Amino acid sequence: MAPLLGRQPRAGDDTFAGVTALLLPRLVNPPDGDPGLYVSLAHEGSALLFDLGDNQLLAPREILRVGHVFVSHTHVDHFIGFDRVLRLFLARERVLTLYGPQGIARHVEAKLSGYTWNLSRDYPFAIEVREIGPVVVTRARFAASTGFRLEPLGTLPFDGIVLDQPTLCVEAAQLDHGIPCLGFAVQEKARLHVRPEALAAEGLTPGRWLTQLKRDVRAGLPDDALVPANDAPSDRAAYRLRGELRARLLLEAPGQRLAYVTDVAFTAENARRIVALVRGADIFFCEAVFLDIDRAQAARRAHLTARQAGSLARCAGVRRLEIFHASPRYATQPGALAAEAGAVLQGALAPDLPGA
């Protein structure tokens, strides 16, 4: 598939491998606006949000679908939107989980302590913060009922996966932007398609048991357990081995993979970690702040050029690259950043990797 750069969603984006896609991503702002990625989860009525810069282009109902927010770092263009999210959620019975690099809990605490909460003690809303360090994830909770006082919740080991749900997981990588900065990838778990002809051949009727079978297979439950093969099993004959049903009725295909990387220095270690995180992504959302002619300025600002973003995408073998975070200095050269990144992806410009 030809890589497409810096584009907005269009018809057909909601399908993947010929069926409705689970992950429906879109940049929160145009490429020259604040960084941010909104990933709607089809059929689940929920969403993931990456970075908290200006988010006025997201409707309140879209923000309220978000259960998990992933913050790369707390420079102002990645965190100024925290207040709008807070205000939308404040009176709701919800827990918002916010993931960020080391120090994020202190930044959340400072944001929250900027307001007065004497009339908010009845609100059930809470924020759970997870600081992603190189070795451990440190958890803390801020509840409206306590005036958003920090409550430590202990630590968990960090193994690269920060969110693990039945249909997807979110991975994080520790990157360097002069300060710790996180890159993220969303991996949809194996897609399971029912083979209707096999179902008919077995004399089986779809129902809740089939939904449960798919859920069990995604969860990795053992093949050698007996499970029902209809919704009202009356005798032992209505039970079959899970592995037998799985093999006969289900087709398994790899799920979608998205990656989101922004605000990173072009160093050998960052490049190694980014390529590992992004490898095989269907869509790689990557910053491209400067043209390569301004690479010295990019290095001073610990950002990527379009050529560098294209090089990382090419090394990682992504199917599509979408760039964002364009410097306003190129406002009079629309398309120049995308053209440079695209030239690397299409082989017209040699990839450039640090230390290569």
Q: Which positions touch Zn ion (CB under 5 A)? A: 75, 263
- Listed residue (311, 286, 289) closest to 300, CA to CA: 289
Q: Which of residues 149 and 300 has its CB atom nearest to Zn ion in the complex?
A: 300
Shortest gap between Cβ of 327 and Zn ion (angstroms)? 13
With both helix axes pointing from N to C terminus, report the angle between 336-345 and 306-316 in degrees, rounded to the nearest 10.
30
Shortest gap between Cβ of 113 and Zn ion (angstroms)? 23
Say if CB 305 and CB 288 are below 8 A apart.
yes
The amino acid present at 316, given as its one-letter code, is A
Shortest gap between Cβ of 183 and Zn ion (angstroms)? 13
Shortest gap between Cβ of 178 and Zn ion (angstroms)? 8
Q: What is the DSSP letter of 293?
A: G
Task: Please report which helix (H) or strand (E) contains residue 142, including its range.
Answer: strand 136-143
Shortest gap between Cβ of 76 and Zn ion (angstroms)? 9
Q: Which of residues 263 and 282 has its CB atom nearest to Zn ion in the complex?
A: 263
Integer CA distances (angstroms), 338 to 6, 134, 348, in order: 7, 33, 13
Shortest gap between Cβ of 182 and Zn ion (angstroms)? 12
Q: Which of residues 75 and 319 has its CB atom nearest to Zn ion in the complex?
A: 75
Task: Please report which helix (H) or strand (E) contains residue 20, including its range.
Answer: strand 19-20
Q: Which of residues 94 and 106 has its CB atom nearest to Zn ion in the complex?
A: 106
Shortest gap between Cβ of 177 and Zn ion (angstroms)? 5
Helical residues (DSSP H) of the chain, grouped into ranges: 60-63, 76-79, 82-89, 104-112, 196-201, 208-218, 242-249, 268-278, 295-301, 306-316, 336-345
Shortest gap between Cβ of 49 and Zn ion (angstroms)? 17
Integer CA distances (angstroms), 41 to 30, 52, 152, 226, in order: 21, 19, 30, 31
Count CB-CB contacts under 10 A for residue 173: 21
Say if CB 171 and CB 158 are below 8 A apart.
no
3-state secondary structure 246-275: HHHHEEEECCCEEEEECCCCCCHHHHHHHH
Q: Which of residues 75 and 295 has its CB atom nearest to Zn ion in the complex?
A: 75
Q: Which of residues 54 and 263 has its CB atom nearest to Zn ion in the complex?
A: 263
Q: How many helices (H) and strands (E) does the chain have?
A: 11, 20
Q: Which of residues 75 and 94 has its CB atom nearest to Zn ion in the complex?
A: 75
Shortest gap between Cβ of 184 and Zn ion (angstroms)? 15
Say if CB 128 and CB 96 are below 8 A apart.
yes
Q: Which of residues 3 and 35 has its CB atom nearest to Zn ion in the complex?
A: 35
Q: Which of residues 214 and 303 has its CB atom nearest to Zn ion in the complex?
A: 303
- Listed residue (138, 134, 123, 57) closest to 89, CA to CA: 123
Shortest gap between Cβ of 38 and Zn ion (angstroms)? 19
- Listed residue (69, 74, 141) closest to 101, CA to CA: 74
* Residues 6 or more apart in contact with residue 72 via CB below 8 angstroms: 35, 50, 51, 78, 100, 101, 181, 182, 183, 184, 260, 262, 263
Q: Which of residues 177 and 214 has its CB atom nearest to Zn ion in the complex?
A: 177
Q: Looking at beta carbons, which residue is closest to Zn ion?
A: 75
